[in-house]
């Protein structure tokens, strides 16, 4: 029952995909900064989709800078990128063992590396809601099969790293998203071992089904692989690419070259590349080649050229949005189409999503809250469904199509917006923890960034501070509509309590919590526990008068049994910050509003 996992990349002498294909759980890695290993994610997902495993895990958020500065909010965009890439299991890098006891925090680090995901984090007790978000997303993204349209064949030989055409992804350099026709890669070995044709698609057992197979533009291919491709085409597959000219193998000496030339002639009919894209029908399938499909610089035809073939075949993009600001992932079960959609920008987005699904009822599933609701506005035409989408910065949703579609309201009809009931301006009572240098009681005339406060105990504070305020509802009635608390800007997480009701942790945009079940007409008692990360306290303990003011040691002989200088409040096994390092914004900044929907 033991399962085997590997990360098949980084200077190995094999082809990455073949090496990873022997794993029960393929893995990859992505860095928060500064290393780009996106290709390993594409490779691991490709392995899962062609070999059949449902789980693809990642060594996630690896980092060598900005220690203790990572929070669920500033990690969310990259985490959603990973989900859209096809990853559905997060292994944090790194949960360092903390052997120094509960007094010396933040404690042990792995040199400069890691996002310090361990019990000594200031916000550790606030994390279950974020972990639950990751769990919901991972669970849904393991259902059914991944939907992809393009399958790239890698050249034979090793070592090899798969890289897709440059225009097959879009976005910032280290967060490039796949476009509307999803893709994977496959080796000749896996293709020969597992590929069949089902309804004109190249299919893999317990894996994905692809509309086209794209060949690498290399002059060599073994007779065996070319024979597999010929068999797939004759069974109904669509192949894009130029014919090979010889074999890379010495198994048959020059006889292998002759076999390649003979087979290529039967499939392509010649070796001179046409000036225009042409289609050659062979058996039940076809070959497309020539013209813009002839690669100029890349190993493969451009994504745009391949997409043009798919459109000729009558296949619309799997997902698109006129805003160009959304990423997606699509999985399909026997009775549902599951789309993960996220806003990859730091601005709100109001747009439409076009999904390659027809005849099914769209539902909106919120992975942050777990709430699900039917969507009333949508339009079905031309084999696709259009749905209006309104997402906060880095917000994500699942759009799930299940069951027969009901009668929709037309897209474009106005929908009720948020109405502000009351704004909680003025004084707030705030309590800090004196153990970490803050005042036990203080009044803020208005909401302010802690780093801008004149008192050092607040400016350099790291940890939990509790904000308190009372308020009434204008008119004394919340009506029967949904009432929410909009927190504005929070650095970095918060827990909301109203009239003794724990309403949970808020850790990401839109920074809102439903207070309908707890709010009353008058005398509302609001408590907001806000927590920031360790950075400001670590910088504070680098200041004169706080740096090295005490000595710590462990009778057990830990860390060599030596005595080490420590800051006034903190001890860490590596100094990550200097006296003049910039402080991070901290606290509840608001504006805090009560709204009605």
- Tens of pLDDT along 258-316? 999 999 999 999 989 999 999 999 999 999 999 999 998 889 999 999 999 999 999 99
Contact 67, 116 (CB under 8 A): yes
Of 541 and 412, the structure prediction assigns the larger pLDDT to 541
pLDDT digits (tens, 9 = 90+) for 128-144: 999 999 999 999 999 99
- Three-state SS across 449-467? CHHHCCCHHHHCCCCEEEE
Contact 429, 588 (CB under 8 A): no
What's residue 424's pLDDT? 97
User: At 478, is the pLDDT very low, low, confident or very high (cuts 50, 70, 90)?
Assistant: low
What's residue 552's pLDDT? 94
Mean pLDDT of 412-418: 63
Mean pLDDT of 321-349: 97
CA angle 447-451-455, nearest 5°?
90
What's residue 135's pLDDT? 98
CA angle 59-582-113, nearest 5°?
20
pLDDT digits (tens, 9 = 90+) for 57-91: 999 999 998 999 999 999 999 999 999 999 999 99
Distances (CA, A) of 103 to 225, 435, 565, 575: 63, 10, 15, 18
User: At 341, is the pLDDT very low, low, confident or very high (cuts 50, 70, 90)?
Assistant: very high
Q: Chain-wide mean pLDDT for the chain?
A: 95
What's residue 476's pLDDT? 66
What's residue 173's pLDDT? 85
Report the distance separating Cα 149 and Cα 164, nearest Å. Answer: 14
Which pTM was predicted?
0.96
What's residue 34's pLDDT? 75
pLDDT score of 477 more than 70: no
What's residue 68's pLDDT? 96
User: At 409, is the pLDDT very low, low, confident or very high (cuts 50, 70, 90)?
Assistant: confident
Report the distance separating Cα 97 and Cα 119, nearest Å. Answer: 9
Report the distance separating Cα 137 and Cα 422, nearest Å. Answer: 34
pLDDT digits (tens, 9 = 90+) for 142-189: 999 999 999 999 999 889 999 999 999 999 888 999 999 999 999 999
User: At 414, is the pLDDT very low, low, confident or very high (cuts 50, 70, 90)?
Assistant: low
SS3 state of residue 225: helix
pLDDT digits (tens, 9 = 90+) for 351-408: 999 999 999 999 999 999 999 999 999 999 999 999 999 999 999 999 999 999 988 8
Burial class (CB in 10 A: 0-12, 13-18, 19+), 407: exposed
User: At 202, is the pLDDT very low, low, confident or very high (cuts 50, 70, 90)?
Assistant: very high
pLDDT score of 480 more than 80: no
What's residue 555's pLDDT? 87
pLDDT score of 411 more than 90: no
pLDDT digits (tens, 9 = 90+) for 484-537: 999 999 999 999 999 999 999 999 999 999 999 999 999 999 999 999 999 999
Strand partners, 349: 391
What's residue 253's pLDDT? 79
User: At 573, is the pLDDT very low, low, confident or very high (cuts 50, 70, 90)?
Assistant: very high
What's residue 12's pLDDT? 85
Question: Residue 69 gets which letter from DSSP?
Answer: -
Of 8 and 478, the structure prediction assigns the larger pLDDT to 8
pLDDT score of 481 more than 80: no
pLDDT digits (tens, 9 = 90+) for 217-244: 999 999 999 999 999 999 999 999 999 9
Report the distance separating Cα 587 and Cα 459, nearest Å. Answer: 10
């Amino acid at each position: 029952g033991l399962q085997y996992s590997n990360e098949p990349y980084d200077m190995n002498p094999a082809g990455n995909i073949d090496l990873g294909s022997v794993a029960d759980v393929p893995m990859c890695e992505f860095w928060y900064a500064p290393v780009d290993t996106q290709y390993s994610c594409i490779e691991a997902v490709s392995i899962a989709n062609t070999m059949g495993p449902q789980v693809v895990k990642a060594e996630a958020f690896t980092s060598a800078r900005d220690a203790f500065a990572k929070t669920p909010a500033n990690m969310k965009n990259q985490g959603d990128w990973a989900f859209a890439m096809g990853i559905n299991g997060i292994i944090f890098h790194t949960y360092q063992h903390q052997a120094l006891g509960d007094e010396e925090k933040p404690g042990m680090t792995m040199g400069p590396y890691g996002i310090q995901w361990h019990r000594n984090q200031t916000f550790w007790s606030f994390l279950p809601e974020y972990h639950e978000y990751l769990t919901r997303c991972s669970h849904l993204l393991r259902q059914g099969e991944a939907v992809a349209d393009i399958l790239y064949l890698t050249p034979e030989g090793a070592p090899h790293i798969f890289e897709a055409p440059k225009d097959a992804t879009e976005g910032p350099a280290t967060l490039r998203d796949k476009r509307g026709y999803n893709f994977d890669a496959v080796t000749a070995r896996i293709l020969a071992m597992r590929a069949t044709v089902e309804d004109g698609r190249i299919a893999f057992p317990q894996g994905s089904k692809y509309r086209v197979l794209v060949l690498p533009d290399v002059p060599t291919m073994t007779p065996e692989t070319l024979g597999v491709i010929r068999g797939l085409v004759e069974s109904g597959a669509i192949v894009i690419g130029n014919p090979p000219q010889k074999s890379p193998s010495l198994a048959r000496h020059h006889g292998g070259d002759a076999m390649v030339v003979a087979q290529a002639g039967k499939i392509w009919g010649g070796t001179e590349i046409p000036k225009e894209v042409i289609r050659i029908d062979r058996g039940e399938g076809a070959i497309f080649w020539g013209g813009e499909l002839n690669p100029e610089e890349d190993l493969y035809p451009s994504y745009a050229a391949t997409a043009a073939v798919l459109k000729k075949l009558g296949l619309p993009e799997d997902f698109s949005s006129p805003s160009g600001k959304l990423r997606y992932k699509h999985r399909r079960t026997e009775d549902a189409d599951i789309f993960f959609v996220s806003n990859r920008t730091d601005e709100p987005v109001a747009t439409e999503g076009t999904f390659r699904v027809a005849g099914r009822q769209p539902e909106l599933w919120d992975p942050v809250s777990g709430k699900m609701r039917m969507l009333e506005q949508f339009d079905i035409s031309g084999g696709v469904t259009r749905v209006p989408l309104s997402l906060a910065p880095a917000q994500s949703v699942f759009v799930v199509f299940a069951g027969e579609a009901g009668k929709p309201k037309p897209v474009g009809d106005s929908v009720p917006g948020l109405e502000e009931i009351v704004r909680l301006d003025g004084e707030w009572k705030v309590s800090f923890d004196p153990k970490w240098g803050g005042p036990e009681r203080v009044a803020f005339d208005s909401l302010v960034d802690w780093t801008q406060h004149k008192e050092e105990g607040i400016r350099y504070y790291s940890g939990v501070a509790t904000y308190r305020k009372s308020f009434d509802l204008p008119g004394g009635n919340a009506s029967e509509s949904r009432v929410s608390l909009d927190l504005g800007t929070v650095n970095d997480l918060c827990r909301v309590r109203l009239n003794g009701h724990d309403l949970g942790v808020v850790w990401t945009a839109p920074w809102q919590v439903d207070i309908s079940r707890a709010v009353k007409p008058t005398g509302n008692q609001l408590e907001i526990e806000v927590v920031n990360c360790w950075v400001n306290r670590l910088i504070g303990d680098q200041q004169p008068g706080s740096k090295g003011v005490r000595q710590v040691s462990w009778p057990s002989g830990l860390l060599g049994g030596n005595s080490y200088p420590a800051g006034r409040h903190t001890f860490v096994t590596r100094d990550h910050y200097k006296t003049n390092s910039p402080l991070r914004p901290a606290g509840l900044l608001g504006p805090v509003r009560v709204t009605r929907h």
